[in-house]
Amino acid sequence: EFRRFSLERSKPGKFEEFYGLLQHVHKIPNVDVLVGYTDIHGDLLPINNDDNYHKAVSTANPLLRIFIQRKEDADYSAFGTDTMTRKKNVLSNVLRPDNHKKKPHIVISMPQDFRPVSSIIDVDILPETHRRVRLYKYGTDKPLGFYIRDGSSVRVTPHGLEKVPGIFISRLVPGGLAQSTGLLAVNDEVLEVNGIEVSGKSLDQVTDMMIANSRNLIITVRPANQRNNVVRNSRTSGSSGQSTESSLPSSTPNILGNLLQGEEESDEEDIIIEDSGEPRQIPKAAPTSESIESLSQIELLHESTQNGFLPSSEMNLNHSAGSISMEYEVPEPGPKSLEEDGTIITL
Amino acid sequence: MRRFLRPGHDPVRERLKRDLFQFNKTVEHGFPHQPSAVGYSPFLRLMAIGTRSGAIKLYGAPGVEFMGLHEENNTVMQIHFIPDQCQLVTLLDDNSLHLWSLKQHGGTSELLEEHRFTLKGPPGSPPSATQVTAVLSHSSRDVLYLGTESGNIFVVELPLFRVLEDRTITLEAVLQRIPEDNCNRRSCELVEALREHPKNPDQILIGYSRGLIVLWDLQNNKATHHFLGSQQLENLYWQRDGSKFISCHYDGSYTQWPVSSDSRQPEPLENTVPYGPFPCKAISKIYWQTTKNGLPYIIFQGGMPRASYGDRHSISVIHGSQQTAFDFTSRVIDFFIIFSSDPAAEFDDPSALVVLAEEELVVIDLKSAGWPAVHPPYLASLHCSAITCSHHVSNIPLKLWERIISAGSKQNIHYSSMPWPIDGGTNIAPDPPQRDLLLTGHEDGTVRFWDASGVCLHLLYKLSTVRVFLTDADPNDNMNTLGEDEWPPLRKVGTFDPYSDDPRLGIQKIYLCKYSGYLAVAGTAGQVLVMELNDEDAEHVVDHAEADLLQDQEGYRWKGHEKLKTRDGPVRFEAGFQPFVLVQCQPPAVVTSLALHSEWKLVAFGTSHGFGLFDHQQKRLVFVKCTLHPSDQLALEGPLSRVKSLKKSLRQSFRRIRRSRVSSRKRRGGSGNASEVQEANAKFDQDALQEMELAPVQRKIEARSAEDSFTGFVRTLYFADTFLRDSSRHCPSLWAGTNGGTVYAFCLRVPPAERRMDEPVRAEQAKEIQLMHRAPVVGILVLDGRSTPLPEPLEVAHDLSKSPDMQGSHQLLVVSEEQFKVFTLPKVSSKLKLKLTALEGCRVRKVTVATFGSCKTDDYSENDLAVLTNLGDIQIISLPFLKLQIRYPCIRKEDVSGIASCVFTKCGQGFYLISPSEFERFSLSTKWLVEPRCIVDVPEVTSNNHVHKSGTENAARKSSPGDCGEDERKSGRLMEHALLNDEKVLKEIQSTLEGGR
């Protein structure tokens, strides 16, 4: 059954209100439903928080088609890219084919109910021969499970080919996070760790950096096997096409586009136990006025990179994931950004 | 966006930073590592020591020090001062000669290398022809006589080392002029010694190794006398009046020879084997010193009976009926005698014997009865027992200083009262601004107190903790085991004694309260001693307590060493720091952290199992806290399991070495079936290569978990009076940080002074913070309302610090190996952080709060964190905003022991071990800088006009930072400018790049 109603595009309001409105319009006040919409690429995408709701509203052209399903008989697999139009999809190029493609009918839960374990990010700003992989150690008991070693690689320099020392992945532990993602392989050369170039650093230094970043590890590698690289001209298809609009110029591939988000998400929360009471996450102190300015700047940036779900925008997804998986209070983004400010200054 | 997040450098701050911070390595304290040669100038009264790494160090009066480094880093074989000049020549083991000069520059003297030279023979001659074996710097000051392996003596003119070929004294020329029957031993006669006649500079004595000695007349180019020794010659020495000389030989004998005008081939006057009749070792060097009373001093090195004392390193002094063989614990490198240098004086009248041994410098007073040793004001053997830890205390109150000195002087009564005999040069450095103590803990259970205020690191007092314990060895059994009438009359001298009776005695942590004189030391077997300074000897019982750190853990077995046994009953202690409380941790693991609060009379200690708090006033254990994770078996079992794995890896590496040796031997010895062996070798190599490829050095990347071993290891303890529970009342607190990233905070209730003995001290856990990155916590600090670190205990009471601001809110700084974090108090919320490891891949090894003063304005100073990383970099990080100010490379990252030994002072200086026996002192401050500034005056400046311009420039570049402070500092600053400019350029580039976005 169809309903048609209007919203003010400039003031869409909150998702909760919208959800209430839907329930009201459909006269199903106590039924849990899943809300989805089709984006400009024809993908069915969920609406379940403020961010993707706003995104959805902004894509209405002029009509926004919304699909509502009862939660109990919802077909979860219907969501995601490559759903409405059976186009060739970026992801299937990126992910090892055996990873998802063969078993499309496994019922996985909604994005809000599960947590990503890995992703390829910044496809749009990296050279095609490089791959930036993010591993989410976050909450799982699975070991990261890989080893690195010294080695040498051949670089093209103004003086011709030159052998330079490099860091390589030497071993993947079976069943570890690194292996299960399929995004890293033995003999991949490690170029960066969380946006910091490793050239000139010793094996021990790189080890320390990786372990220090282990809760949100972003490794840029030059895969030993270059056949599974992302094909650049496919960027107009799929939701990742949106990334081309992002402000990051591809001429500076070494700048980690998602560093900010990564940092924010990784921001591990120390735990405090007061007077032998319950453990609790340490809150952030209130921001001082001087940081407000930088704050707005960062948020602007967030918006410019929020676009669809994969692969370059874990933003909203992580927010929801964070708020549910952690029993601690979720800090407001404001002070977090302040903190980033403090950290990144010293980069 | 990066531009935005990384605010541009504030020019005002940048300027201030230049006024505050500057990095200099200023002086090396202690004893040079691997000394190889010594030289002395009676004219300058300076001593020079050369080392196997090519360093040359000059020492005069305390504070007068110069250092130079040969570019080649080759062993210095010989050092010869040019008579009556500020110059010296060094001979290296690559057969090169180097001329060094002390030049005055900007009010101070500098040691500069002026010229270098390698003797070259005619084309085609073997290298031995020009291998220099003996050097004579002639009193005419401008020529050097170089004796060589070939037996020829070359003459070179200084300072340019111009070879005067016409003056070469060839072996042939010498042999022609002596009777035929002595010429049969011409082969392989190298020049062993060259000595100038003390009265007649035209005559030199030439000693060849096979025993032939020739007195050569330089004017007439002929031999005036020759002397035939029957034994291989080792060395020669003239009597002062030139009427006799003495030769010493390989068989342990020495011979006196008369030099008279009537006989051309004199017979020996006397031939003695001092430690005969059994075969003796060689006497390698000998001195003959005349005195007014007629009895000469004969001083020689070696000559001990080969079989029973051949392993001794001895120098014997014979004076009439007195004879002593000074017995050194390490090899004697060389020695010299300080005697009257006035050419008009009739007698030598020796005053001191200076011996450079491999590990220490020993000076013997020859004027006082019994020949006591002289206490050296510098060149202290820091490593007389291996250093296990160090602790620095700045700005010692005068009272405590005097008491320590007085305690130390009572220990030094056996030293001679003679003033230090090597007293050349003038120290023009300003007096040190304050009195600083450096305390070193040693493996043998001693703590040494060093005066670290100035350039000379000087031992003030030595404290031994051994008396408290029962050890197997009697402390007195190895001193002078030989009775009075023993032969040879050996006497042990020196302090170097690297053997520890019991490794459990080793000192691991030291904490001295400079206001109260309380000292806490903790050791390898979990022992914690609290001591008090007492000016008198005393005999008392040490109160003993045990702290069971595993109290609520069951079923664990400690497999490490046992705790130390204590002595029952009263123990006699000499004046100085006397222990009154002993706490022994159970299990007796190494004490890893220690804190003392002298005002509250509390001492806190931690091991790999937990930590405890002891009230040393009431002598009561307040509490213990076990920090172990139940799965942490390693810590529970003690160090054994780790030792096992170390052994295993050692075994493996030995196996690898052996295998490679085998293969190389095979390769060499392929005589018979060479091809087969070669093939086998090739196969073997291939296998080895494959093996190598199979197992490259790799590192596991894994997040740290709570189950990692040694998480309970207590790394830091800290007392603070702060707001722990609520923001209205502050209270004493104890903070502890562990290897697993946990911080524990205990609220303490210390009774007021009047009821201090009546009510117990109470403690209650108030907070526990778990850092999610789980890196070891290496520092905890509370900042007051003005963001100033809380003062030390009793600092305010002594009016030496402003009282802390208790109005504003306090902040807690937790430094882990990976991050710096600031939290608010009393409600712990995180405020700021600085990630180090995640961004740079380095880890914090040492961290201290240091005060930096501006060199421009007297009234400005600020507190910053001085941080040493595992890469050997020093970083200065601002408080409380945690901004990196500046970074200096300091220690090579491979130098693990150097990094581990580093200790910072509160004024932005620091020390680290560059060898087991030497501390390098460095300064991060522009204001507080301790470096040698000294001047060596030349009584008569003679012809010094032919100095090569290029030579000096060349040398100036090579001179080390230690000896030419002013210049170096200027250039250092210039470099800094250059770097800053560079950074600006970089930033510009970056901003233009980002501007495009």
Q: Which domains can be identified in chain A, with CATH numbers?
A: 1-87+103-114 (3.10.20.90), 118-228 (2.30.42.10)
Q: Is the pLDDT of residue B551 over 70?
A: yes
For A67-79, letters b (16+ CB in 10 Å) and e give bbeeeeebebeeb
- Residue B757 dihedral angles phi and psi, to the nearest 5°: -85, -15
Task: Please tell me if residue B950 touches chain A, with a CB cutoff of 8 Å.
Answer: no
| Chain A environment of B821 (Cβ under 8 Å) | 270
Residues of chain B by 3-state class (helix, strand, coil), percent to 5: 15, 40, 45
| Chain B environment of A117 (Cβ under 8 Å) | none
**How would residue B947 be classed by pLDDT, with cut points 50, 70 and 90?**
very low
Whole-number Å distance between alpha carbons of B698 and A305: 37
Q: What is the DSSP string of B134-164?
A: EEEE-TTSSEEEEEETTS-EEEEETTTTEE-
Nearest-by-Cβ selection for B4 from A170, A213, A294: A294
Which of 816-855 (B) contact A at CB < 8 A? 818, 821, 823-824, 828-835, 837-843
Mean pLDDT in residue range B644-670: 45
> Is the CB of residue A131 less than 8 Å from the CB of residue A228?
no
Between B799 and B665, residue with greater pLDDT: B799
- Cα torsion A90, A94, A95, A101: sign: positive
Task: Please tell me if residue A294 touches chain B, with a CB cutoff of 8 Å.
Answer: yes
Residue B511 lies in a domain: no
Task: Please tell me if residue A149 touches chain B, with a CB cutoff of 8 Å.
Answer: yes
> Is the CB of residue A340 less than 8 Å from the CB of residue B5?
yes
For B717-731, write each residue's pLDDT tens digit. 999 999 998 888 899
Residues 6+ apart with CB under 8 A from B200: B242
Residue B888 lies in a domain: no
Task: Please tell me if residue A124 touches chain B, with a CB cutoff of 8 Å.
Answer: no
Residue B602 lies in a domain: no
Whole-number Å distance between alpha carbons of B294 and A146: 83
- Cα torsion B686, B688, B689, B690: sign: positive
Q: Do A346 and B839 touch (CB under 8 A)?
A: yes
Cis-peptide into B432, omega within 30 deg: no
Question: Among A64-78, A107-121, A237-251, B802-816, whose mean pLDDT is lowest?
Answer: A237-251
For B623-637, write each residue's pLDDT tens digit. 999 988 766 555 555
Q: Which residue does chain A place closest to B743, by CA atoms? A: A272
**How would residue B691 be classed by pLDDT, with cut points 50, 70 and 90?**
low
Nearest to B506 by CA among B590, B576, B580: B590
Which range scores top for mean pLDDT: A245-249, A262-266, A282-286? A282-286
Nearest to B566 by CA among B549, B541, B532, B547: B541
Q: Is the pLDDT of residue A45 over 90?
A: no
Tokens matching residue B81:
């001062």
pLDDT of residue A317: 34
> Is the CB of residue B734 less than 8 Å from the CB of residue B746?
yes
Nearest to B815 by CA among B868, B852, B893: B868
Helix (H, G, I), strand (E, B) or coil at B54: coil
Q: Which residue does chain B place closest to A248, by CA atoms? A: B997
Residues β-bridged to residue B763: B748
Angle at Cα B870 formed by Cα B864 and Cα B873, nearest 5°? Answer: 50
| Chain A environment of B835 (Cβ under 8 Å) | 212, 343, 346
Whole-number Å distance between alpha carbons of A35 and A28: 13
Helix (H, G, I), strand (E, B) or coil at A325: helix
Residue B330 lies in a domain: yes
- Residue B467, Cβ density class (10 Å: 0-12 exposed, 13-18 middle, ≥19 buried): middle
Residue B310 lies in a domain: yes
- What are the start-end ranges of the E strands in B233-312? 233-238, 244-249, 254-258, 270-272, 283-289, 297-302
Task: Please tell me if residue B3 touches chain A, with a CB cutoff of 8 Å.
Answer: no
Quote the domain boundaries for residue B351: 273-379
Residue B277 lies in a domain: yes
Residue B151 lies in a domain: no
pLDDT of residue B220: 86
Residue B289 lies in a domain: yes
Q: Is the ipTM of this complex over 0.85?
A: no
Nearest to B825 by CA among A331, A279, A282: A282
For B703-758, write each residue's pLDDT tens digit. 777 666 678 889 999 999 999 988 888 999 999 999 989 999 999 999 998 899 99
Whole-number Å distance between alpha carbons of A51 and B703: 32
Tokens matching residue B741:
């990233």
Q: Do B5 and A247 touch (CB under 8 A)?
A: no
Cα dihedral A45→A49→A53→A56 (10° resolution): -20
Q: Which residue has the tokens 């180090």?
A: B836
> In chain B, count of helices (H) and strands (E)?
12, 65
Between A174 and B186, residue with greater pLDDT: A174
How many residues in total does chain B contain?
997
Residues 6+ apart with CB under 8 A from B919: B28, B29, B30, B382, B438, B457, B911, B912, B913
Q: Is the pLDDT of residue B335 over 80?
A: yes
Task: Please tell me if residue A256 touches chain B, with a CB cutoff of 8 Å.
Answer: no
Three-class secondary structure assignment of A7-42: CCCCCCCCHHHHHHHHHHHHCCCCCCEEEEEECCCC
**How would residue B196 be classed by pLDDT, with cut points 50, 70 and 90?**
very high
Distance from the A252 Cα atom to the nearest Cα atom in chain B, whole angstroms: 8
For B897-929, write each residue's pLDDT tens digit. 999 999 999 999 999 999 999 999 999 998 888
Between B488 and A255, residue with greater pLDDT: B488
**How would residue A322 be classed by pLDDT, with cut points 50, 70 and 90?**
very low
Whole-number Å distance between alpha carbons of B49 and B34: 10
Q: Is the pLDDT of residue B192 over 50?
A: yes
Mean pLDDT in residue range B802-809: 82
Tally of CB atoms within 10 A around A192: 19
pLDDT of residue B2: 40
Whole-number Å distance between alpha carbons of B59 and B39: 11
pLDDT of residue A176: 83
Question: Among B40-54, B154-168, B687-701, whose mean pLDDT is lowest?
Answer: B687-701
Q: How many domains does chain B have?
A: 1
Q: What is the DSSP string of B800-862?
A: SSPPP--SSPPEEEEEESSEEEEEESSS--EEEEEESHHHHS--EEEEEEEEEE-SS-TT-EE
